[in-house]
Structure 1
Amino acid sequence: MSKIEEKLFQDRYRVDADRPHIQIKDAEICARCRNQQCTVCCPAGCYSREADGSVALATDGCLECGTCRIICDEHRNVAWEWPRGGFGILFKFG
C-alpha cells in the first residue's frame, strides 16, 4: 500500500445508499470531456475512466473535499451536496 492508501484506510465511510451526495448530471457530457480531470484529481479516487470513454463515479470513500465540483468548471456537470447527518466520511484523529 502507498502512504496515501494507508492513511485513507484509517478513515471510515458510512454509505447513504438512499441518497448519494454526489452525482454526475449528464453522463454524455463526461464522455465528451477531453480532459476528464476528475479521474486524476479526486484524492479519494472516486472517479474512474472506463474503457468506453465514460466516467464512473463511486461515492464510497469520498473525502468531501469538493475537488470534483471545482475541477469540472468547464462543464459544471457534478451535482454535489453535503451528506446527510451521520453519513459520509468519519475521520480518525490521532
Structure 2
Amino acid sequence: MEDTKVKANIDDKLFLNTYNVDTLSHLAIKDQAVCENCKEKTCTFICPAHVYEFKDGHITVGYEGCLECGACRIACSHDNIDWSFPRGGFGIQFRLA
C-alpha cells in the first residue's frame, strides 16, 4: 500500500495564512527597563512567529506577523507584555488547506 499523505513542515503551513494588518498594535511592552534587565528573554524564543527580537538593548515587537497564540504573555515571567486580540476584522486568517 502506498502512502499518499503529503508532508509539509510548519513554514509551509504558515505560508498559507493571510494577515489583515492593523495600524494599531495589539501587543506592547509595558516597561522596556524590565526587558533590559531580564536575563531569560523568553519572549524572543517562545513565540512561534518570532514577533519579539532583542536588538540594540531593547525588545522590538513586530506585531504584524503575530499568530495570536498568547504564548508570549504566559511565558513572560515578569508579566511585562500587554497582549490582546487585534481589533475586529484584523489579525491572522488561518488557512488549513
TM-score (structure 2 length as normaliser): 0.85
1:82 partnered with 2:85 = yes
1:48 partnered with 2:18 = no
CA distance in 1, matches of 2:58, 2:22: 24
- What is the correspondence of 1:1-94 to structure 2 with a 5 Å cutoff? 3-17=9-23, 19-50=24-55, 52-72=56-76, 74-94=77-97
CA distance in 2, matches of 1:75, 1:4: 29
State the SS of the aligned residue for 2:39.
coil
CA deviations over 1:43-90 (Å, ceiling 9, x no partner) = 01101121x332111001111000000001x21100011111110001
CA distance in 2, matches of 1:26, 1:48: 15
Once the two structures are TM-superposed, the CA of residue 33 in structure 1 deviates from its matched residue by 0.4
CA distance in 1, matches of 2:16, 2:63: 17
CA RMSD of aligned residues (A): 1.4
TM-score (structure 1 length as normaliser): 0.88
State the SS of the aligned residue for 2:79.
coil
- Alpha carbons 2:52, 2:59 under 8 Å: kept: yes
CA distance in 1, matches of 2:43, 2:85: 18
- Alpha carbons 1:69, 1:79 under 8 Å: kept: yes
- Alpha carbons 1:12, 1:61 under 8 Å: kept: no
Aligned residues: 90
- Alpha carbons 2:46, 2:71 under 8 Å: kept: yes
